[in-house]
Structure formats: C-alpha cells, structure tokens
Amino acid sequence: MTRVKFLSKDESLYGFEIKGHSSVNCNDDEGKLVCSAVSSAAYMAANTITEIIGDECIIDVDDALMRVEAVNPTQQTVTVLKGLKLHLTELSKQYSKRIKITTEV
C-alpha cells in the first residue's frame, strides 16, 4: 500500500511524504498503474514547487520514498500542495486498498 502523509502547520500545507508501493507484485497491473499515477503527480508537484515557483525545499527520494518539505512555502506552493492532496485523495477513493492519505499536524 502507498501511504501519503501531508505535512501541515497552522492549517497550511508545507510538504508531503509518500512511502510504499501500490502493487502487490510484478504482475499486478492495477497496482503498477496506481503507483505510476501517484509518482507522476508527486514529481509534477515537487518540480513545480522547486523549478517553477522557486521555493527552497528539503527533498529526500529513495526506493518507495519521496519526501518534500518547503522551507518557507509561498501561497503558490500551498496551492500546489492542496491540488496534489485533492488529486491523491480522489485517487484513494477509487483505489482505497492501494492508497491511504493522512495529514500530520
């Protein structure tokens, strides 16, 4: 299961952490599809925040892990993170056995 944790302070998002894989094994096509959708959305959000908006982030990426924390998030970054949260929350409704969303305050 993919676990997505959004990082929040004072009711404002400043980052996210994604751990795990949505697929059960190498032959799990639905799981691979969900994993790809989550990864693509996460990279798009991270690249938009760092390369387009220009906010400084602490980033950790490894196998089955992506953590992005904006140091001083602008309102644009918060908006991107809200969009990512909405997108992944809707995906988790469709694939509830593959994605779990939480928010850490």
CATH (domain of 64): 3.30.70.1490
Q: Which domain holds residue 38?
A: 2-104
Task: List, in sequence order, every residue forming a beta bridge with 60; answer none if it has no partner.
Answer: 67
Q: Environment class of residue 86 by beta-carbon count within 10 Å: exposed (0-12), middle (13-18) or buried (19+)?
A: exposed
Say how many domains are in the chain: 1
pLDDT values of the chain reduced to their tens digit, one per residue, 105 residues? 999 999 999 889 999 999 998 887 777 889 889 999 999 999 999 999 999 999 999 999 998 999 999 999 999 999 999 999 999 999 999 999 999 999 988
Distances (CA, A) of 29 to 4, 63, 101: 21, 19, 22
Task: List, in sequence order, every residue forming a beta bridge with 17; answer none if it has no partner.
Answer: 5, 67
